Amino acid sequence: MTVPTERTLILVKPDGVERGLSGEILRRIEAKGYTLVAVELKSATPELLEQHYAEHVGKPFYQPLVDFMLSGPVLAIVAEGDRVIEGFRSLAGATDPTTAAPGTIRGDLGRHWPTKVIQNLVHGSDSEESAAREIAIWFPAL
Ligand code: IDP
Ligand code: MG
């Protein structure tokens, strides 16, 4: 019996889209061997972000995070592959781009900016439960 392969929700955040890094980030996902299931440029809304970032509502960086995510379009991606949730988190690197390991998206392409929110180019689901929830938020048709 084949084990169903895993899916994750990836976002190229507004800083990544604005800097023209969407292609480079897609390239890294594909080069790793993951399959692109859906790719769409979207504009977030406060309601959608409240669902997406439910775990962060009420934290000091929540409103700056929402404002940042509304500052421009995001590229929403569903990628598929064995252990892709963990694998993309590994490709993305640590949350803080200054200390994210070289070789990762955040480590190679990100840096600190003097803003209230950490701008770090990408989002990736952190568990199977989050992935299912986030895919339903961004791609209800899937
Ligand atoms: P992750 O994106 O690496 O999973 P989370 O802790 O889930 O990190 O935080 C979500 C996003 O909120 C981060 O990617 C970053 O953009 C922002 N963020 C997280 N922690 C802070 C903080 O302490 N100050 C400002 N922004 C933060
Ligand atoms: Mg997270």
pLDDT digits (tens, 9 = 90+) for 37-96: 999 999 999 999 999 999 999 999 999 999 999 999 999 999 999 999 999 999 999 999
Q: For the chain, how many residues are written? A: 142
Taking the model in full, what pTM does it have?
Answer: 0.97
Contacts 24+ apart (CB under 8 A), 56-61: 61/116, 61/117, 61/118
CA separation, residue 60 to residues 57, 119, 130 (Å): 9, 15, 22
pLDDT digits (tens, 9 = 90+) for 118-130: 999 999 999 999 9
> Is 8's C-beta closer than 6 angstroms to any atom of ligand 1?
no
The closest of 15, 69, 14 to 45, measured between CA atoms, is 69
> Is 62's C-beta closer than 6 angstroms to any atom of ligand 1?
no
Question: Does residue 123 have an active-site annotation?
Answer: yes
Matching residue, tokens 């404002």: 67
From 56, 65, 121, mutation site for ligand 1 pocket: most ligand atoms within 8 A of C-beta: 65
Q: Whose CA is nearest to atom 25 of ligand 1?
A: 117
Spatial distance between the Cα atoms of 9 and 130, rounded to a whole number of angstroms: 9
- The reported pLDDT for the residue numbered 4 is 72
> Is 120's C-beta closer than 6 angstroms to any atom of ligand 1?
yes
- The reported pLDDT for the residue numbered 1 is 60
